[in-house]
Amino acid sequence: MEIIPTKSTTHTFSFLGKGSEYAIIFFKNLLLTILSLGLYYPWAKVEKLKYLYQATEFKGNRFTFHGTGKEVFKGFIKVYVLFVSLYLFVIFATATEMAGMAAIAVLVFYGAIILIIPLAIHGSARYRSSRSSWRGIHFKYFGSRKEMYQLCVKGFLLTIITFGIYGHWFQVNLKAYIAKHLKFGNITFNFTGDGLDLFLIHLKGVFLSYITFGIYSFWYMRELYQFNIQHIELYQGEERIKTTFNISAGDVFSLIFVNAILIVFTLGLAAPWVATRTLAFFINNLALEGVFNEDDIQQEAIDDYDDAAGDDYLDFFDLDLL
């Protein structure tokens, strides 16, 4: 018989990665990337993700990243071809020396880059979810490409018209859309943040940081992290499970301060240690709170999505969904 928990309890995550272990992977990948003039990047990315997932533990078991170098390589080629053709287009358009052609070409170039972003977000969310599992149960993103497109176009336009103010609502809507269309087996997600709250956090944060010569910025970042994480909810059947992220401004300070010292004084060689410290900060402080039964998550129909192009596209701009 299974024991069904009825009491709300706290369930913590732990990050078990070590800087020295990750440094081997990091430097090996860097070496191979240099020797291959960048072509090794897809395999490097996969090994990095596999390590970081596997170093993350919940209830005694680890996460797994199932992506392969081949999948990421195919996506990488698509992104590469796209950028090369966009550049060639601009160069040829400029070379025609026709009046206004150069301006049109540049407009098309940036237009294309922006219009592809919603597709990339959709693709990245599907690929990463499909390739991530814990205890053999997979994530699944089932959002629609069309809705994502509408959301982004509306978001971009309103953000421009309102001089950036709507950007906060846009960000929140985007997170909510992704969360509502994400599943982990039969567990569903929700994001309850509100655009106005995010706007006020930024407004207060910038103002107070300014008048305290930056000292308030640690409280500001703490609020921002908590806003982004603690508004995520999980549902197991009828049970609502909340996420908590209990950190102090001092924790934020020591994360950022020590990271900066490590990078500056080692000319960047400490990058792998900085990466593991940072992940440890986020993962070790993350917890689920509620009536939750980790042994009773059922696998649902899996979305076997192997197109990594969207994910690679976002890499290109250093954007990371997770």
Q: Under the rule (CB under 8 A), what is the footprint of other proteins? A: 16-18, 20-21, 23-25, 27-28, 30-31, 33-35, 37-38, 47, 50-51, 54-55, 60-62, 64, 66, 94-95, 97, 133-138, 185, 260, 263-264, 267-269, 271, 274, 294-299, 302, 304
How far apart are the C-alpha atoms of 137 and 193, rounded to whole Å? Answer: 27
What are the backbone angles phi and psi of residue 198, rounded to the nearest 5°? -65, -45
Q: Which is nearer to other proteins, 133 or 173 (CB)?
A: 133
- Could you tell me which residues are beta bridge partners of residue 189? 234
286 in Cβ contact with 243 (< 8 Å): yes
Nearer residue to other proteins within complex by CB, 41 or 169 = 41
> Which residue's CB is nearer to other proteins, number 135 or number 204?
135
CB 193 within 8 A of CB 243: no
Please report, in angstroms and rounded to a whole number, the separation of the first and last CA atoms in the chain.
Answer: 37
CB 52 within 8 A of CB 26: no
Q: Which are the contacts of 123, defined by CB distance < 8 A and separation ≥ 6?
A: 307, 308, 309, 310, 311, 313
The smaller minimum CB distance to other proteins, of residues 25 and 119, is found at 25
Nearest to 227 by CA among 207, 247, 210, 241: 247
In the complex, least distance from residue 59 CB atom to other proteins, rounded to whole angstroms: 8
Smallest distance, other proteins to C-beta of residue 15, A: 11
Specify the residue, 35 or 114, whose C-beta has the smaller distance to other proteins.
Answer: 35
Least distance between other proteins and beta carbon 224 (Å) = 20
Q: Which lies closer to other proteins via its Cβ, residue 45 or residue 231?
A: 45
To the nearest 10°, the Cα dihedral for 299, 300, 305, 306?
Answer: 20
CB-based burial of residue 149 (10 Å sphere; 0-12 exposed, 13-18 middle, 19+ buried)?
middle
Least Å from the CB of residue 61 to other proteins: 6
Cβ closest to other proteins, residue 35 vs residue 115: 35
At closest approach, how far in Å is the CB of 94 from other proteins? Answer: 8
What 3-state class would DSSP assign to 231?
A: coil
Min CB(173)–other proteins separation in Å: 29
Shortest CB 177 distance to other proteins, Å? 25
